[in-house]
Structure 1
Amino acid sequence: MGEVLALVEARLRTALGEPDARAAVTFLGTDRIEVLRFVDAEAGLVRYATLGMSAAPMADPTAALADPVKGPRAELVLTVRLGRADTDKVLRPLAVLAATPQVEGVIVAPGASLDLGGPLWPGAGFSSVLVAGSGGLVEDLELDEPMDPVRFLPLLPMTPNEAAWKRVHGAQALEERWLAKGTDLRDPLRGSVSLD
């Protein structure tokens, strides 16, 4: 477990630079989840990445016994514009999302919605996120066979209206709507995209 997380942290540092802050959260009955913060002042962005979700593979909730080696592994990455909102309070909610596979026995994959039941950070207009595909900002991390690679999944904050629309029309339709309308998904103060 520790070896995998050391490799994951090294991959995050290679892709995003040195973290300037980190917080650890442990929930009853789960392994410790850390959230690292990376500030890219030049681009005006702050990125938050989980560390700990990939320590064990995500198990199929219908399987009688969880495989301790094989199965999908992932970490979550959230990118927002720097200084527009108090987004540092997102650390605990991100850890909650990263603990979802352990707590609820679900597999977090692209196209999935993760709901917090409350704002991502104080005053945020988002209480859920859409999980996007990996391979962009942080490359997948190959592990020794028979382990699956670790995928770094971007999180796209959704307003309640967007989340409801996505449930009806699907993730791809929502992503196409955002693209067509030129939505700045990194803006922590943005409103809902037009869904007419």
Structure 2
Amino acid sequence: MADLLALVEARLRTGLGEPDARAAVTFLGTDRIEVLRFTDGDVVRYATLGMSGQPMTDPTAALADPVKGPRAELVLSVRAGLADTDKVLRPLAVLAASPQVEGLVVAPGASLDVGEPLWPGAPFTSVLVAEPGGLVEDLDLDAPMDPVRFLPLLPMTPNEAAWKRVHGAAALQERWLNGGTDLRDPLRTSVSLA
């Protein structure tokens, strides 16, 4: 796993540059999850490292395959200096550990909720998992292992999360696009859902 995570970190550095901070969190019964911070001008990106060490398995499967299955890391981008977003490290690590702890398969279109603000004063307790491939390219691994995908996270207000449950991820993303929503604004309000 250490070799795999070294490759994952190298891919993150290729896509995002050198991290300027990192923190590690370990939950009982799970592998260590690190969160790396990358600063690019007025944008701060937080990326998990460790979630991809084990493949995600369908919770209904009788046996977990130790090699095959989807692998991912999470990437959150926010505008710097508007809120104390560095406090997102623990909630991000919780989300990254959820496949091991809860048997979740994290995939584009999914909602993930931490049940508390992502950082102090944040209007968000959950995120929408977006399509990979924008910031960091997938990392292909030797067969039979699936590639590591770097999944962007888009913070959702409680109203947006409720609306998404009814109308779907694509409809919410269309609302954001039509509303000119700055999804990197750590203090933004909910998009108009009427």
Q: TM-score range by the shorter chain?
A: over 0.9
TM-score between both structures, scaled by the size of structure 1: 0.98
**Equivalent in 160, 166, 169 of residue 167 of structure 2:** 169
* Corresponding residue of 2:33: 33
Distance 2:140 2:11 in 1: 10
* Corresponding residue of 1:138: 136
Distance 1:71 1:153 in 2: 16
Distance 1:151 1:20 in 2: 22
* Corresponding residue of 1:129: 127
Cα deviations by residue, 1:24-71 (Å, 9 ceiling, x for unpaired)? 000001000000000012xx1000000000001001111011000000
**Aligned letter for 2:7?**
L
* Corresponding residue of 1:5: 5
Query: What aligned pairs does 1:5-154 form with structure 2 within 5 A after superposition?
Result: 5-41=5-41, 44-154=42-152
After superposition, the CA RMSD in angstroms is 0.4
**Aligned letter for 1:16?**
L
How big is the shift at 1:103?
0.4
Distance 2:89 2:116 in 1: 14
Distance 1:56 1:119 in 2: 27
Distance 1:122 1:147 in 2: 38
Distance 1:98 1:161 in 2: 24
Distance 2:119 2:13 in 1: 25
Percent identity, please: 84
Distance 1:106 1:189 in 2: 29
Distance 2:104 2:116 in 1: 20
Q: Structure 2: state its 5+ residue gaps.
A: none
How big is the shift at 1:107?
0.1
* Structure 2 counterpart SS, 1:23: strand
Distance 1:189 1:93 in 2: 17
How big is the shift at 1:90?
0.3
**Equivalent in 163, 175, 178 of residue 176 of structure 2:** 178
* Structure 2 counterpart SS, 1:76: strand
Distance 1:90 1:171 in 2: 23
Distance 2:159 2:75 in 1: 23
* Structure 2 counterpart SS, 1:136: coil
**Aligned letter for 2:115?**
G
How big is the shift at 1:3?
1.0
* Structure 1 counterpart SS, 2:177: helix
Cα deviations by residue, 1:151-182 (Å, 9 ceiling, x for unpaired)? 00000000000000000000000000000110
Q: Structure 1: state its 5+ residue gaps.
A: none
How big is the shift at 1:7?
0.3
